[in-house]
Amino acid sequence: MEDTFGRGITYLRLSVTELCNLRCRYCMPEEGLCKKRHEDMLTEDEMIQAVRAAASLGVYKLRITGGEPLVKKNLLSICQRAGEVEGIQELCLTTNGTLLPPLARPLRRAGVSRLNISLDTLNEEKYRYITRIGTLSQAMAGIEAALEEFDKVKVNAVLIGGFNDDEIEDLAGLTLRYPVDMRFIELMPMYDNEEFGPKAYVPGSRVLERMPQLEPVGADGGVAALYRLSGGLGNVGLISAVSNHFCAACNRIRLTADGKLKPCLHSAQEIPIKGLDYQEMRAAMERAILSKPQAHVPLSAEEISEAGRSMNQIGG
Ligand code: SAM
Ligand code: SF4
């Protein structure tokens, strides 16, 4: 279905949980979050009903996200059922990868066709620092497990000044070792967090300044500008969500684990669907699509998002 600005909405990002086994400093507030009541979260049946409603309106790409989707007990069942919904052609999942080794194959069998794995550094101590509790070797084991099962694996790093801008070459170099696409994502100012404020923002163009040897390659229809290293087994992508937002081509709608449709990532507007029947849910989804703003509020190192939630509560 088209929104009021003529954009076809074909992509649903479904967050299946707010919970996470890591605590990335730029994603979750330092003090953590209160766990919500179980009965306030969408049930598996409600999630599947929402996917059916979205598919009936023309959504054909579904991304499962979180929090960390792999901590969700019934994740495989959700994937299996969501992927079987008529009209869903692509079932993707975004994960920090640390729990993937035993799950990569079951996920593939449950119908997931593509994985995105988040990895901000190749340094063990820095990984522990940024995730507060994670272990780099587990994330790397996750990438290797994913590559055994999936043809297309993307690795995503958030560019953070003073943290990983000195690792741009090393991270891009992953494409020489593995058949992965390595994508650099600009840090979005989600909430007032001094450590990840203006000084941490690095424009995507910094990657090209640091690596003039990157050769442009054709776009893949997604939001990333694509490049390649000579001998690279995958692309290097830039996702400049802040310096060059892609609102004009936005094809997405988001559903949070507590049942709120978000027409725009950076707007506080939310449409609740918890407890609705199929027809009501479908109508709510239509309303959400029709209320998508033309563009989000300006974002910059000084102007923070109006999302009103941290990223683990939205799903990225
Ligand atoms: N836990 C999973 C993971 O880390 O991949 C899925 C959920 S996580 C919220 C989705 C993505 O959002 C991750 O790649 C994470 O790095 C990114 N993210 C979180 N906070 C961000 C921010 N402030 N700016 C840009 N990306 C952010
Ligand atoms: Fe968890 Fe992903 Fe947020 Fe890190 S980025 S805290 S892994 S939800």
- Render pLDDT for 101-154 as a digit per residue (tens, 0 to 9): 999 999 999 999 999 999 999 999 999 999 999 999 999 999 999 999 999 899
Residue to substitute in 17, 19, 20, 31 for testing ligand 2 pocket (most ligand atoms within 8 angstroms of CB): 20
- Ligand 1 centroid to 280 CA: how many Å? 31
Atom of ligand 2 nearest to the CA of 28: 6
Atom of ligand 1 nearest to the CA of 22: 1
Q: DSSP labels for 237-305?
A: EEE-TTTT--GGG--EEEE-TTSEEESSTTS---EE-TT--HHHHHHHHHHHHHT--SSPPP--SSS--
Atom of ligand 2 nearest to the CA of 66: 8
pLDDT for 301 equals: 67
Residues of the chain with confidence (pLDDT) below 70: 30-32, 192, 301
Atom of ligand 2 nearest to the CA of 96: 7
Smallest CA separation from ligand 1 atom 14, residue: 118
Residue to substitute in 15, 30, 94 for testing ligand 1 pocket (most ligand atoms within 8 angstroms of CB): 94
Q: What is the DSSP letter of 178?
A: S
Mean pLDDT of the chain: 94
